[in-house]
Structure 1
Amino acid sequence: MQNPDIKILNTEVLSDNWYTLNKVTYTVSKKDGSTETQSREAYDRGNGAVILLYNTNSNTVILTRQFRLPTYINGNKTGMMIEACAGLLDNDNPEECIKRETEEETGYKISKVEKIFEAYMSPGSVTEILYFFIAEYSNDMKITDGGGLEEEGENIEVLELPFEKALTMVDTGEINDAKTIMLLQHLKIKGVL
């Protein structure tokens, strides 16, 4: 059900070069009963899914490392980010998406995933909802080297790290990706590893 206190007046496409950046003008009802017209920009890149693979026998997790231009522009000297495997839904349901992305990026073919929650990652400017998953992996699930799809310009390094080292890397700032931190903390809080 739509919020009756919000009325969209106009949506203007500012850019649709990679994803879509809209300028939305709307009215909002205030607590005192008056209305106010506001304009905001919203970046629509679609919804996504993210997964943290873990192994209870070896107490390890699978993460990825790749170049992220926005972080480079904002002071990340190398632009490289250590992250959990993730991708856009591309019209798939979240579970099918994350299974596909896991195989493409990490080389692990998983069949069973557990959805743990959904979250807006930057609700002030980005429309994306991210679906969070975890899944147990074993060495026999490794069917390729991973690394992503060349035709999508992906150049992904697959990392298998001890769980405690990954947690320490959050403390040292080596891992500073929000979705990855949330997943690592989930495993710690739930006592999975």
Structure 2
Amino acid sequence: MPAVKPKRLEEKKVYESRIFEVYEGTILLPDGRRANQSWITHRPCIAAVPVSPEGKLLLIRQYRAAVEQMLLEIPAGAMDKGPESIEECVQRELAEEIGFQARNLVKLFEGYLVPGYCNEYMYYYLATDLFAANLPPDADEVIELVPISFSEALDMMKNGQIVDSKTALGITLAWEHLRGR
């Protein structure tokens, strides 16, 4: 039996920040029942896996208020509200977060991050052939550059030192791509 898509009947914005908006609304289910749901809307975003000429991953360590921890991550960020292509966003985030841009970008994957309650859609790129290109980081970011080998990163994912899932996915995709799989 083919699935019938529920229909959104109404929605109301209940909160807006500079990064996302929160909505509450009523959904009409296929069997006629109504359900109240909440969701977050978010601009599309990118994640980049920068690899130095020496084969090192250029990760960043930054504070994440939601989990009250310093996390080891790949560079990532939301697209600007104005006209910005995905590749321009990748280059901007690389320059802001690690002080480099890439002559070579390879798209690895794209998809929703947490579609159960948010429409945030992320594009993953491998970034190689890096060159210096500094842009100031966002005003609320404190970032430390952490160059490590793929082997170290894979071990850190296994032992709980890398706990950000976008980073784990990006590193795994880049590793598989570079190994020719």
Same fold (TM over 0.5): yes
Label 1:148 to 1:133 Cα distance change in 2 as closer, same or farther (>3 A): same
One-letter code of the match for 2:42? R
TM-score scaled by structure 1? 0.83
Shift in Å, 1:147: 6.6
Out of 91, 110, 121, which is 1:129 matched to? 121
Structure 1 partner of 2:137: 148
Q: Deviations over 1:36-94 (max 9, x none)?
A: 21121111121100100113x5231111111001112xxxxxx1111100010113221
Question: Helix, strand or coil for the counterpart of 1:174?
Answer: coil
One-letter code of the match for 1:37? R
Out of 47, 70, 82, which is 2:44 matched to? 47
Out of 47, 52, 62, which is 2:58 matched to? 62
Structure 2: gaps of 5 or more residues: none
How many residues are matched?
175
Structure 2 partner of 1:86: 76
Structure with the bigger percentage of strand? 2
Identity between Structure 1 and Structure 2 (%):
23
Question: Helix, strand or coil for the counterpart of 1:157?
Answer: strand
Out of 110, 115, 118, which is 1:118 matched to? 110
Q: Deviations over 1:4-26 (max 9, x none)?
A: 73221110111113421001211
* CA distance in 1: counterparts of 2:106 and 2:177, whole angstroms: 13
Structure 2 partner of 1:10: 10
* CA distance in 2: counterparts of 1:8 and 1:35, whole angstroms: 12
Say if 2:96 is the partner of 1:104. Answer: yes
Structure 1 partner of 2:150: 163
* CA distance in 2: counterparts of 1:162 and 1:111, whole angstroms: 21
TM-score scaled by structure 2? 0.88
Provide the aligned C-alpha RMSD in A: 2.0
Q: Check whether the contact 1:44–1:127 (CA below 8 A) recurs between aligned residues.
A: yes
Q: Check whether the contact 2:108–2:174 (CA below 8 A) recurs between aligned residues.
A: no
One-letter code of the match for 1:154? E
Q: Deviations over 1:138-186 (max 9, x none)?
A: 4xx1244x6723xx31111111111111111101111111111011111
* CA distance in 1: counterparts of 2:178 and 2:124, whole angstroms: 17
